[in-house]
Amino acid sequence: MLAPTLIDYGTEEQKERHLEPIARGEEFWCEGFSEPDAGSDLASLQTKAIKDGNHFIVNGQKTWSTFADYSDWCCLLARTGPHSRRSKGLSFFLVDMSTPGVTVNSIKNIVGEPNFSEIFFEDVRVPKGNILGGENEGWQVVQAFLSYERATIAPIAVVQTMIERLVEYIKDNPERQWTNARNTLAKLAIETEIGRLIGYRVAWLQDRGMATDWHAAMSRLYGTELLKRAAGAAMEILGLYSQLDERENMAPLYGWIKHLYLASIGATIAAGTSEIPKNVIALRGLGLPRE
């Protein structure tokens, strides 16, 4: 997600420093966007970056940062205009996670895995050269970043894998009564193919350098909501067995369906709740006025 954003907005020095390590898998990044009081309403964030010579001094807290405790760098959105409001006066920083003053604490997600983290910034010095896209122009950069994040086809791929595994499980257990399984899986297969085509269209637009913000929002919304519906349908198909996790010998598919069902709820929240892409589609795609 960062690499294409760097290509769009980065200086030559920033591209040379980061693109190759990202491509080689030698540099791992996390997001520093959400805060305890600023999630989907990202423009209300309070983390501040105050200019001090050739550096900015960053103070604040970020949360729900996936794998921050394993990350080398952080994409940080902070308020550089001390008197600015909402999306005005925000800047997008590239922050080395080894910088003094950065503290990371792990948070368990709904599945019980410590994938999330909260990040504390206490007088963290970030060089001016680490601003991506210009001072006070971070909102435009983060919107481009989020478009790349929302363009992911991952939810659709997960549903496709789930369908394939369920089909094999049903074939291997013919003694069970699979009421409505055929109709449900057939419908999900159609919806998955629709999602795949939407994802391909977004990739096609991106390859041609065309604006994809609302197309990406459509892909994200469709994929995550389908994942949630599909996981719920899988729970119904497997019945009471679906509630068993990997610790139980009788758990279908090693408890993966239960894990997927819980994780799918978070998928409709990450990168903005489902209401956020709906707003993007309505405003930028359909041209509807703001309320």
pLDDT in tens, 64-81: 999 999 999 999 999 998
* Predicted local confidence at residue 125, as pLDDT: 98
- To the query of whether residue 149 is one of the catalytic residues in this protein, the response is yes
- What is the average pLDDT score of the chain? 92
Domains in the chain with CATH codes: 2-135 (2.40.110.10), 151-285 (1.20.140.10)
On the question of pLDDT at 159 being above 80, the answer is yes
Q: Extract the tokens encoding 50.
A: 């105050």
Asked if 93 and 142 count as a contact pair (C-beta separation under 8 A), the reply is no
Taking the C-alpha atoms of residue 8 and residue 142, their distance in angstroms, rounded to an integer, is 12
In this prediction the pTM is 0.85
User: Can you say how many angstroms the Cα of residue 48 is from the centroid of all Cα atoms in its chain?
Assistant: 23
Give the CA angle between residues 97, 98, 104 to the nearest 5°. Answer: 55
Catalytic-labelled residue, pool 35, 118, 149, 225: 149
For Cα atoms 29, 32, 33, give the angle at the middle one, nearest 5 degrees: 130
Provide the pLDDT for residue 247.
84
- pLDDT band at residue 190 under the 50/70/90 scheme: very high
- 144-90-47-102 Cα dihedral, nearest 10 degrees: 60
How buried is 133 (Cβ within 10 angstroms: 0-12 exposed, 13-18 middle, 19+ buried)? buried
| Cβ-contact 245, 258 below 8 angstroms | yes
Confidence of residue 86 (pLDDT cuts 50, 70, 90): confident
Q: What is the pLDDT of residues 202-238, one digit of tens each?
A: 999 988 888 788 999 999 999 999 999 999 999 999 9
